[in-house]
Amino acid sequence: MAKQLWNKGFEPDGSIEEFTVGRDRELDLRLAAYDVQGSMAHIRMLQKIGLLTADELKLLLPALQEIADSIAKGDFVIEDGVEDVHSQVEFLLTSRLGDVGKKIHSGRSRNDQVLVDLKLFFRDELCRITEAVKKLFDRLIALSDEHKDKLMPGYTHLQVAMPSSFGLWFGAYAETLTDDMQLVTAAYNITNRNPLGSAAGYGSSFPLDREETTRLLGFASPHYNVVAAQMSRGKTERAVASAIASVASTLGHFAMDVCMWMCNNFGFVSFPDELTTGSSIMPHKKNPDVFEIMRGKCNRLQAIPNELALLTANLPLGYNRDLQLMKDILFPATTELVECLDMAEFMLRHIRVKDNILDDQRYDYIFTVEDVNRRVLSGVPFRDAYRQIGEAVQRGEYRPTREVHHTHLGSIGCPANDRIVERMEALTAPILVGAKA
């Protein structure tokens, strides 16, 4: 016999249940700990307002803690015939405590119950993403400092353009991650609000203390308007998806750079043999498969905001079952992004950077701008200096000085990594400190 919290004495057709439940039982296992956490806060509040007695609370809290312990051990399952995690937790309580277990749903709906589960889940996932971003950021900054004086070609239109440096290359991606963290922070702030007490989206006639559950669950504030709380389903997920896509964009771009710089035609970076893969027919091959897979995964992650936008674009006000499908999209995405970030950091521990690249004659023309600027500094008008160097190039007479003097803020000689670090610390600290609290 199927067990649903909404059971009214009849059973739905089996095919209907299978189609509507979908992968919820599997995905809801990731929400189980948060469902128990939300229930603990809810019943504490119910006891405070008189809907539970102190003795009932003393029975419920240890029983919920036992369920939490089973979840932590990996023993918790959503049984066959049980619709979702909310049903499983409540049925476990009822089977152990009888009628007392049936009281925990007073003043809430599955709508605000799943909302609070998701808010708690995404808050933790955004913390995990922040930690992984910060770890990769620290690695990039360390590499930027280590290789700040090693020159490499800079490109525009994939044509040799001007001198750059490995310090600038690594540091550029570090600073770009700080821009991504702006979106992660915004998603975290949108997520970090309490929907509990909004019930089915229109509140309750019980005198619920929503400030109390906000405090107990560590949210920054409630969703004040109960309809707005319900409307946050979809809005929260789209904010998280945008943050994921932004980080993935940076990481995918970096992966493409590495694939290109590893190519024999460039040869700027390399990795130990055991971190590359080979060919079944060409014995010389050392393929950048890790970064190719990373690039592909990050490109796929960047499609998620569009997928969620289409899923939620034309939904009417209030809860609609379509929203359930967002879990299929976002739950795997948070894990995949963290895995990509962790793998990038691992690979960068072993990266090898080529020295003296610009000594090669193929890069002679990369110094033309330096020589134009040198003439301008000596008093030659810019357009005259530009024409003089350009004509020397056309005649095949140009010989570079191979000297680079960049001193302004953010340049080869002054990458401003200390300021970039300060920016990242300011963005990540509120999330990471809040997670520990």
Phi, psi of 60, rounded to the nearest 5 degrees: -75, -45
Give the CA dihedral 199, 202, 208, 212, nearest 10 degrees: 70
Element (H, E) at 55: helix 54-73
- N-terminal to C-terminal alpha carbon distance within the chain: 43
pTM for the whole structure: 0.92
Measured in degrees and rounded to the nearest 5, phi and psi for residue 289 equal -60, -35
C-alpha separations of 413 from 148, 215, 255, 283, 402 in Å = 8, 49, 26, 41, 15
Q: Helix (H, G, I), strand (E, B), or coil: what is residue 163?
A: strand
Which residue reads 């960068």 in tokens? 348
In contact, 214 and 257? CB cutoff 8 Å? no
Q: What is the pLDDT of residue 283?
A: 62
- For residues 424 and 181, the answer to whether their CB atoms sit within 8 Å is yes
Closest CA to 235 of 308, 328, 180: 308
Instruction: List the pLDDT tens digit at each of the 437 positions of the chain.
Output: 445 544 545 566 566 666 666 677 778 899 999 999 999 999 999 999 999 999 999 999 999 999 999 999 999 998 887 878 988 999 999 999 999 999 999 999 989 999 999 999 999 999 999 999 999 999 999 999 999 999 999 999 999 999 999 999 999 999 999 999 999 999 999 999 999 999 999 999 999 999 999 999 999 999 999 999 999 999 999 999 999 999 999 999 999 999 999 998 999 999 998 887 765 666 666 788 999 999 999 999 999 999 999 999 888 888 888 888 999 999 999 999 999 999 999 999 999 999 999 999 999 999 999 999 999 999 999 999 999 999 999 999 999 999 898 999 999 989 999 999 999 999 999 999 876 66
- Nearest CA to 126 out of 240, 272, 209 is that of 240
Give the pLDDT score at 238: 96
Token reading at 389:
């160097």
What is the topology classification, in CATH, of domain 111-148+166-204+223-357+419-436?
Answer: Fumarase C; Chain A, domain 2 (1.20.200)
**What value, to the nearest 5°, has the Cα angle with vertex 21 and ends 20 and 22?**
95
Which amino acid type is present at position 14? Answer: G
CA nearest to 282, candidates 264, 270, 297, 255: 264
Residue from 356, 409, 336 nearest 168 by CA: 409
Residue identified by tokens 């290359």 is 169
Query: What pLDDT does 433 receive?
Result: 87
- Supply 107's token pair: 């003043």
Residues 6 or more apart whose Cβ sits within 8 Å of residue 14: none
Classify the C-alpha dihedral 348-352-356-357 as positive or negative. Answer: negative
Give Cα 118 to chain centroid, integer Å.
15
DSSP E strands: which ranges in 83-158?
151-156
Which stretches within 192-225 are classed as H helix? 210-217
Q: How high is the pLDDT of residue 363?
A: 94
Q: Give the pLDDT of residue 1.
A: 40
Each domain of the chain, given as residue ranges in start order, spans: 14-106, 111-148+166-204+223-357+419-436, 361-394
Residues 14-106, CATH architecture: Orthogonal Bundle (1.10)
Collapsing DSSP to helix, strand or coil, 199 comes out as: coil
Count of CB atoms situated within 10 Å of the CB of 54: 7
- Please state, in angstroms and as integers, the Cα–Cα distance from residue 116 to each residue in 5, 189, 223, 333, 380, following that order: 17, 14, 11, 20, 68
